[in-house]
Amino acid sequence: MLYLIGLGLSHETDITVRGLQAVKKCKRVYLEAYTSILMAASKESLESFYGKEVILADRELVETGSDEMLKDADTEDIAFLVVGDPFGATTHTDLIIRARELGIKVECIHNASIMNAVGACGLQLYQFGQTVSMVFFTDSWRPDSFYDKIMENRKIGLHTLILLDIKVKEQSIENMARGRLIYEPPRYMDISTAASQLLEIESLRKEQAYTEATPCVAISRLGAPTQSFKAGSLKELSNYDAGEPLHSLIMLGRQVHDLELEYLYEFVDDKDSFKKLVLQDQEFFKPPPYVPPTEDDFSN
């Protein structure tokens, strides 16, 4: 059996009871180590809590070495641990498909992830649209595919959760070209970088999917003891120090419920100023008033 087990967001003890029971009976335990990190735990603390050796599984192993991970999984129990929920990252579906092709049974044990815990900021999960990812820009690569999805969300009034890039066990272009297995130090995108990149793309596209005044919410270390939120304009957050990683960003949609707004006031510098931002933003993509059809409309 292959077990895909969600670990939650922060502590080694965030694993569910059922997940822990599964880990303890597994022959090998892999920890997916490239889409996210446990903010208040480490490989060593997991091993101590589980009483099992934990094998770090980087992107290369998961994406190209799945046969090694799945070896003997038809007769032995193997665990694949994922920070958050196993389906929080789409890359893990490939591992499940490969296991099925080999006739290996798969069981998924779910846990909290950014996708549902984000509701802790006070915004209602029902009011979220498509989630997008923001990668680090380079001198030669500044992808803007996220922009169109934000535009779609904003047109129908929905909030957008923006997941920020992390770089773990990445090689420089030079080292990769020379075949040197030298890896760069881990990097985690912060709020100010994400907001600045968003503003840069808007300045290039000029389609006003959002503006400097668009209200947003910065999320820092969600699920950890030091979790915090900060609400303000996109421009304000481009200069915001969000502290230690991990960070995420939410861009508000037009349909902000009164209860959502009241909750967000806890995280603003100036209540009246933020309310003004939200009310102004609600005019963007505002649908025209409904006009009932007339008899002439039906006759045509």
Phi, psi of 113 (to 5 degrees): -140, 175
How, if at all, do strands 55-57 and 160-164 pair?
unpaired
Query: Would you say 94 is a known binding-site residue?
Result: no
Contacts of 73 (CB under 8 A, 6+ apart): 1, 2, 99, 102, 104
Query: Would you say 9 is a known binding-site residue?
Result: yes
- For residue 41, the number of C-alpha atoms closer than 13 Å in the C-beta half-sphere is 25
Query: Would you say 31 is a known binding-site residue?
Result: no
Query: CB of 248 within 8 A of CB of 223?
Result: no
Query: Would you say 110 is a known binding-site residue?
Result: no
51: left (phi over 0), alpha (psi -120 to 50) or beta: left
Structure-token match 């303000």, residue found:
232
Query: Would you say 145 is a known binding-site residue?
Result: no
Query: Would you say 14 is a known binding-site residue?
Result: no
Query: CB of 214 within 8 A of CB of 233?
Result: yes
Query: Would you say 113 is a known binding-site residue?
Result: yes
Query: Would you say 198 is a known binding-site residue?
Result: no
Residues paired with residue 28 on neighbouring β-strands, in sequence order: 78
CB neighbourhood size of 278 (10 A): 17
Residues of the binding site = 9, 85, 88, 113-114, 164, 222, 247
Residues of the binding site for S-adenosyl-L-methionine = 9, 85, 88, 113-114, 164, 222, 247
